[in-house]
Amino acid sequence: MKILILNALKEWILKAFSEDTWKELAESSGLGVEQFRDGDKVFSDDRFALLLAKMVKLLNLEEAEIIEQFVHYWMTDFAPRIYSYYLKKSATAKEFVLGIFQMNNLLCKLFPNKHLSMVDYQEIDRKTIAAVYPSEKALVDIVAILRGVNSQFTDRFTIRKINPHSVEIKFEKQEEV
């Protein structure tokens, strides 16, 4: 999943700054300039911290500013394409939902910011996921996205709001393992 974040960072740098800026950042960080190297597919948290430090120096911006601008880009330009990626990658609705939650939480871990919060989720059983999100508005947004993609899968799911911050997602059928 981190390779998706690297791809988003590369796109953002190219769009917001320049190709020369991306080349300098990629070279100084040990990333592939044209395409990411095999080792970048398992990009460690330490390497992300180093990459962010190099971005601060190269872009002459505070870390908080970089995170703010990147997360804005992620949410407005990149994330809508992520959903289609997960739709194609996921064989079931449950895989899709878990993939979106995992990507959200990874982004929050690597780039803590005020726009996104971790989704605290738990698989209650094979057919049920309970999810808690600290912001009611953000939970409403996630529920709307999930309802929008429900028609894309044969294993439908229902979403029941438990309280302003929690939902229960029940999958109608799960194949026997």
The greatest distance separating any two alpha carbons of the chain, rounded to the nearest whole angstrom, comes to 54
DSSP code, position 150: G
Alpha helix ranges (H) inside the chain? 2-16, 19-29, 45-59, 63-73, 79-89, 93-110, 136-149
- The mean pLDDT of the chain is 83
* pLDDT the model gives residue 121: 94
Query: pLDDT of 112-143, one tens digit each?
Result: 877 778 889 999 999 999 999 887 666 666 77
DSSP code, position 161: E
Torsion over CA: 31, 78, 88, 94 (sign): positive
Q: What ranges do the domains of the chain cover? A: 2-60, 83-171
- pTM of the complete model: 0.71
* pLDDT the model gives residue 177: 44
Closest CA to 167 of 175, 176, 157: 157
Query: pLDDT of 12-38, one tens digit each?
Result: 999 999 999 999 998 888 887 776 666
Cβ 35 vs Cβ 93: under 8 Å: no
- Selected residue with higher pLDDT from 48 and 126: 126
Adjacent-strand bridge partners of 161: 167
CATH topology of domain 83-171: H-NOX domain (3.90.1520)
Using pLDDT thresholds of 50, 70 and 90, give the confidence band for residue 42.
Answer: low
CB neighbourhood size of 73 (10 A): 18
